[in-house]
Structures are given as structure tokens and as C-alpha cells.
Structure 1
Amino acid sequence: MHICVVGLGKIGLPLAVQFAAKGHRVTGADIAPAVVAAVTAGRPPFPREARLDELLAETVAAGRLHATTDTVAATAAADAVVIVVPLLTDADGRPDFALLDAATDAVAAGLRPGTLISYETTLPVGTVRGRFARRLEAGSGLTAGRDFALVFSPERVRTGRVFADLRRYPKLVGGIDEESTRRGVEFYRAVLDFDPRPDLPRGNGVWPLSGAEAAEFAKLAETTYRDVNIALVNQFARLADRVGVDLAEVIDACNSQPYSHLHRPGIAVGGHCIPVYPRLYLWNDPEATVVRAAREANEQVPAYAVGLLAGALGPLDGAAVTVLGASYRGGVKETAVSGVFPLVEALQAAGAVVGVSDPLYTPEELAALGLPPDDGKPAVALVVQADHPEYRDLGAVDFPGVQVLLDGRRVTDPARWEGVRRIVLGGGNALR
């Protein structure tokens, strides 16, 4: 097949490489010339995606993967088009379809009869049929379901391990009609590989669903569940701190039987997915009080953590505090909805003099993000915001003068912090 992947970001580019590695001819389309130039050179435009460096270089060198800014032309030459363009939301969770609409219009302008189109971007329920099918029809003069197949197949991978996740998790596919679903299933079976999963009743290959709406709902439901679960354990952490119990012990005890799957508390919920997709769910279902309460509870954790720090250190006015980690998650150079922003804001509101350090970012990059870079001067307190693997080996010897460590991710080794008060969320405020 000749495949066009629209959007060469942290999901789209690994997808394009995966398709090309299976022997298909792939054109990646992106509106950013710098991204296209990097891909053309066989060089990943972002770091730390396992296997991407080698596979990208191989598929580009073999002539199976090309990149372009011309989405119209790439679509016109394709048998299948996969769209992985971000859907942004405002502070109230209202989706901003501008980028996806523009990508859809470009695809429509190059669309020819017989093409399969698959949206992988997470969307509110009803978007593929109610918005994009109409837009594709208006821009192409073709009819969805009759002249071209249209499906929704949500990405279900995690940055940093995309290729492994593509093999492990079932690929959900739902079309606007039965023929579209059949075409979508056929396509993904031809471009993906799967490791055996005997624990799943239907295996872990391509799972056809009853329609695009079911597939859209499934992605929103699974990510919203995670947000609600995390909010619950973050609430548990507050009680654990009040009553002097280590919540980690409680969670391990609860999860020893199969009906409990409690997640772990953390200083923030960040990234493109978990803090965003519940808002998309609420856009469909504004009366979902549990979902709304969970989102609000998770948004309050950075301020709660600052309160713990002040309780251990005393008033923060004028105190030098270093925040370790700008990324929303360890090992990933990405600050989308990162907890670093509300954390720094809460620290500064309490009067602290804040500096941010991250092994993946230069001081200049941090400043460009609006974050105060760490100036290297001794701090009296540290706050671990991201669970970068580099932090596991840190200790008191690396930060002379530090009195309190608030480990918001439980990534540090207690044995390395002798003489420093180490606090973890849900640790009962004990010295651990």
C-alpha cells in the first residue's frame, strides 16, 4: 500500500515508521518544515522514543518513508490516510478543532475514490461522523461510506514506548458503516504486529467495534477512568497524611486481590491525555459529576504539595526551592499540561524563590517556557515533579544545605537522603 500519515508528532512519526517497516510506501505530511527536514534526513525531531532512531534511519534509507509539507499531494497518491493531528482544548475543556479541521480540509482536497481514512486523534463521541465526514465530503465532492471508507481507530500508546505498545494492545477500529469497519480492520492487520496476549478473550489483534462512536467512546472511557482512579488515590493520600499511614502499603494490600486496581498518588497529572480527555468526555456529558470532581481534585494536588512543604520547612517566604523536572513525565521531553506550571505558581504565591532544573532542558529552553531556570545556588528545599530516571541516584550529598525533600513521585532512594527530611505524598508525613 501507499500510506499517508498526516501529523509527524510523537505518535504520528512512530506510526509512519511502523507502516514503512512492514514494507509499505509511506509519506508523512506535516505543516512544520523543520520536522519534515529532520525526517527527510532520517533524524528524529524529538528524543527518547525507543527504537525510533534506528527504524527511522532504516526506512528512510530504504526509500520507504518520505516526508512533505504538501498534504494534498500526499493524500492524492495514497491508498490509506491516517490522521494524527492534535486536538487542543481551552481552559474550560472546549475542543479547538482548528488544526484538525485544516488537516481534514487538506486531505479532502486530495481525496480520491477508494481511499481509506482513519482518524487516530482522541475525539469527542460523534466527531468523525458528525463533523469530519461532512467536511471531507464538502471538500472532495465524494460521499463517505460510498466513495471512501472512514474509520476511527484511537492511538493507545505511550510516548517513549510506542513500538512496544503497538504490539501489545488491541487496535480498536470503528467505521461509519460496516464496509468502512471491514476496510479499517484489513488495513491495520496489514501494518501492525502483535505479541500473543492469552489473557485477553479476543486476543490482542485488531478489534472491530460496532461503529465510530463506540471506538471514540472507548478511548475517552479508558483515559477518564485513569484520571478518576488517580484522583481517588490522591484523596486517599490526604487522609494517609493526616492519620500517619503510608498509603503505598495500603495500595499494595488492596491490589493483592483482582477486584482492586488502585493507581499511585502523584504531585500532578500532566500530558496530552489524562488531564485533557476527561474534559472532552465532559463536553459530551456535562452532567458527569464524578468526572468533573476527579479532574478538579487532581488539579488541586500541586497546591496541596506546597502546603506539605511549608508544613515541614516553615514559611516559604524568601526560601530557595529547586523544582526537579519540567516534563510532565519522566524520560519524556514534553511539558504539555505539565504539573511544573501550577507547582511553580503555587510556590511563588507562597513567597518561595523558585528555580527549575531538568536533565532534558537547557536553561534557555526552560526560560522560553516561562519557567525560572535554576541558578545553581544552594536551595533549602527540593521538590521532585517529574520521575526522570536520573533522580533515582540523587542524594543529600548532591545538594548541600537542603533541609527538606518533597518527592512528588516516590522516585528517590530514602537511603541516599540521610539528614534530610524526605516527604512523599500519602506517606503519613513520616521520614521515609
Structure 2
Amino acid sequence: MRICVVALGKIGLPLAVQFARKGHQVTGADVDERVVAEVNAGREPFPGEADLDVHLADAVRAGLLTATTDTAAAVAESDAVVVVVPLFVDEAGVPDFGWMDAATRSIAAGLRPGTLVSYETTLPVGTTRDRWAPMLAEGSGLTAGTDFHLVFSPERVLTGRVFADLRRYPKLVGGIDDASARHGVEFYEQVLDFDDRPDLDRPNGVWDLGSAEAAELAKLAETTYRDVNIGLANQFARYADTVGVDVMKVIEACNTQPYSHIHRPGIAVGGHCIPVYPRMYLWNDPHATIVSAAREANVAMPEHAVDLLAAAYGDLTGTGVLVLGAAYRGGVKETAFSGVFPTVDALRRRGAVPYVSDPMYTPEELDALGLPPHRDESVTAAIVQADHAEYRDLGPDDLPGVKTLVDGRRVTDPTRWTGVRRVVIGAPNAGAAGPRSAR
């Protein structure tokens, strides 16, 4: 097949490479000229994706993958179009369709009869049928479901391990009609590989969910579940602080029962997915009080971590505090909705002088993000915000002068911190009030 992948970001580019590895002729379309140039040179434009550098170079060398800034021209030469353009929401959960509208109009300009269009970007329920189908039809002069096929098929992968996740998880597809769904299933069966191991919980492969709306809801539901679960874990952790209990021992014990799957508490929930999609779900279903309460609980955690620091350290006015980790999670060079931003803001409100360091970012890059880089200024307190592997071996010698450490991710080794007050979220040493009796 000839396939066009629209947007060569951290999901789109690995997808394009995956399709090329299956022997298909792939054109990646992106508005960023630098990304297009890097891809055409066989170089990954961003770090951190396992095996992408090797597979990308192989695909380009084999002539199976090229990139362009001309989306309409690439679509005109394609049998299938996969769209992975970002969709953002504001703090109120209102989607900003600007980028996706522009991309859809470009797709429509090149759309020809018989083409399959698959949206993988997470969307509010109803968007594929009510927004994209009319827009594609108007811009192309074709009829959706008759002249071209349209499906929603959510990405279900984690950056850093996209190729492994593509194999492991069932691929969900929902069409605007039966013919579209059938073409969508056939397409993904030809471009993906699936693990078929006896330890997998369910049969793998491509699943037709029956409608675009069902597939849209599935993506929102599975991600919102994670946010609600983390919110609950954070509530447990904050209560455990007050009664002298290590919440992780409780969670590990609970999860030995097969119906309990409590997630880990922590300083923040970041990334393009978990903080965003619950708000998108709430845009569809504003009466989902459980979802909104969990979102509020998770948003409050950076402030709670600073509260723990103040309780352990004392007055933070004028104190140099080092925030370890700008990334939203360890090993990934990405700051989307990272907890570093509210943590820095909370420290400033307390009168502290915050600094940020991250093994994946240069001081200049931190400056560009609006974060104050640490350039050997004196600090006497620190907060671990990201669970980078480098922090596992961190000790007082690495942070001379630090008297108090709040580990928001439980990534540091407690045996290395003799002589320093080490505080973790949801553990006996984190609570200011100490144990109390039940009432």
C-alpha cells in the first residue's frame, strides 16, 4: 500500500516507520521543515524512542519512507491516510481543534475515491462523524462512507516503547459505517504485528468496536480510568501521611487480590495523555463528578509536595530549592503538563528560590522553557519531580548543602541519605501530624 502519515511526532513517526517495516510505501507529512529534513536524512528528530534510530535509518535507506511538508500532495498519492496531529484542551477542557482542522482541510484537498482515512489522535466522542466527515466531504467533493472510508483508531502506546506497545495491545477500530470499519480492520491487519503469547489476558489483533463513537469513548475511558486511579492513590497517600502508614506497603498488599489494581501515588500526573483526556471526557460528560474530583486531587499534588518540604524544613523564604527533573516522567525528554511547572510556582509562592536540573536538558533548554536552570547556586533543599534512572544512585555528596529532600517519586535510595531528612509522599516520615487514632 501507499500510506500517508500526517504529523511526524513522537507517535506519528514510529507509526510511519512501523508501516514501512511491513513493506509499504510511506510518506510522512509534517508542517515542521526541520523534522521533514531530519526524517529524509534518516535521523530521528527527537531522542528517547527505543529502536527508532535504527528502524528509521533502515526504512529511509530502503526507499520505503520519505517526508514532505505538502500534505495534500502526499494524500493524493496514498491508499490510506493516518492522522496523528495533536489536539489540545484548555484548563476548562475546551478542545482547540485549530491544528487538526488545518490538517483535515489539507487532507481533503488531496483526497481521492477509495482512500481510507484513520484518525488516531484522541478525540471527544462524536468528533469523527460530526466534525471530520463533513469537513473531508466538503473539501474533497466526495461522500464519506461511499467515496472514501473513515475510521477512528486510537493510539494506545507509550512514548519510549511505541514499537513494543504496537505489538502487545489490541488495535481498536470504529468506523462511521460498516464498510469503513471493514477497510480499517483490513488496513491495520496489514501494517501491524501482534504478540500471540499465552500470558496475554485477551486475544490480540484488530478489534472492530462497532462505531467511531465506541472507539473514541474507549480511548477516553481507559485514560480517564488511570487518572481516577492515581487520584485515589494520592488520596490514600495523603491520609497515610497522617496515620503513620507507608501507603506503598498497603497498595502492594491490596494488589495481591486480583480485583485490586491501585496505581502509585506521586508528585504529579503529566504528559500529553493522562492530564488531558479526562478534561476532554468532562467536555462530553460534565456531570462526571468522580472524574472531576480525581483531576482536582492530582492537580493539588505539587502543592502538597511543597507543603511536605515546608513541614520538614521550616520557613522556605529565601531558601534555594533544587527541583530534580523537568520531564513529566523519567527517561523521556518531554515537559507536556509536567509537574515541574506547578512545583516551581508553589515554591515561589512560599518565598523560596527554585532551580531546576534534568539530565536530559541543558541549562539553555530549561531557560527556553521558562524554568530557572541550576548553575551551581547554593541550595539547601531539593524535590524529586521526575523518576529519572540517574536519581536512583543520588546521594548527599551529589547535592552538597541539601538538608531536606522530598522524593515525590520514591526513586531515591533511602540508605544513601544518612544525615539528610528524606521525605516521601505517603510514608510515616512524611506526615507533620504523626499517627492518630481512628475516629
Q: TM over 0.5, yes or no?
A: yes
1:347-389 deviations in whole A, cap 9, x for unaligned?
1100111100011111111011111111212311110001111
* Residue 256 (structure 1) aligned with residue 244 (structure 2): no
In structure 1, give the amino acid aligned to 2:82. V
Aligned to 2:289: 289
1:250-280 deviations in whole A, cap 9, x for unaligned?
0011001101000000100000000000011
Q: Does the 8 Å contact 2:308/2:430 carry over to 1?
A: no
* Residue 222 (structure 1) aligned with residue 222 (structure 2): yes
1:162-212 deviations in whole A, cap 9, x for unaligned?
000000000000100111111000000000001114355651111111110
Structural mapping, 1:204-283, within 5 Å: 204-283=204-283
Per the alignment, do residues 175 and 199 of structure 1 end up closer, same or farther by CA in structure 2, a change over 3 Å counting? farther
CA drift at 1:91: 1.7
* Residue 324 (structure 1) aligned with residue 321 (structure 2): no
Aligned to 1:182: 182
Q: Does the 8 Å contact 1:268/1:302 carry over to 2?
A: yes
CA distance in 2, matches of 1:201, 1:216: 22
Larger deviation, residues 279-288 vs 194-203: 194-203
Equivalent position SS for 2:321: strand
Q: Does the 8 Å contact 1:4/1:29 carry over to 2?
A: yes
Q: Which runs of 5+ in 1 are unaligned?
A: none
Equivalent position SS for 2:125: coil
Aligned to 1:398: 398
CA distance in 2, matches of 1:31, 1:286: 34
Equivalent position SS for 2:73: helix
TM-score scaled to structure 2, two decimals? 0.97
CA distance in 2, matches of 1:319, 1:20: 53
Q: Does the 8 Å contact 1:236/1:247 carry over to 2?
A: yes
Structural mapping, 1:399-418, within 5 Å: 399-418=399-418
In structure 1, give the amino acid aligned to 2:426. G
Aligned to 2:34: 34
CA drift at 1:428: 2.1
1:67-111 deviations in whole A, cap 9, x for unaligned?
000000000000000000000111211000000000000000000
Q: Which runs of 5+ in 2 are unaligned?
A: 432-439
Aligned to 1:101: 101
CA drift at 1:429: 2.3
Aligned to 2:437: none
Equivalent position SS for 1:429: helix
CA drift at 1:65: 0.1
Equivalent position SS for 2:207: strand
Stretches of 4+ moved more than 4 A in 1?
Answer: 199-202
Per the alignment, do residues 430 and 292 of structure 1 end up closer, same or farther by CA in structure 2, a change over 3 Å counting? closer
In structure 2, give the amino acid aligned to 1:57. A
1:228-252 deviations in whole A, cap 9, x for unaligned?
0000010011111000100010001
Structural mapping, 1:4-403, within 5 Å: 4-198=4-198, 202-403=202-403
1:310-368 deviations in whole A, cap 9, x for unaligned?
00000100111000000111111111111100000001100111100011111111011
In structure 2, give the amino acid aligned to 1:210. G
Q: Does the 8 Å contact 1:93/1:279 carry over to 2?
A: yes
User: In angstroms, what is the RMSD of aligned CA positions?
Assistant: 1.0
CA distance in 1, matches of 2:227, 2:242: 23
CA drift at 1:412: 0.7
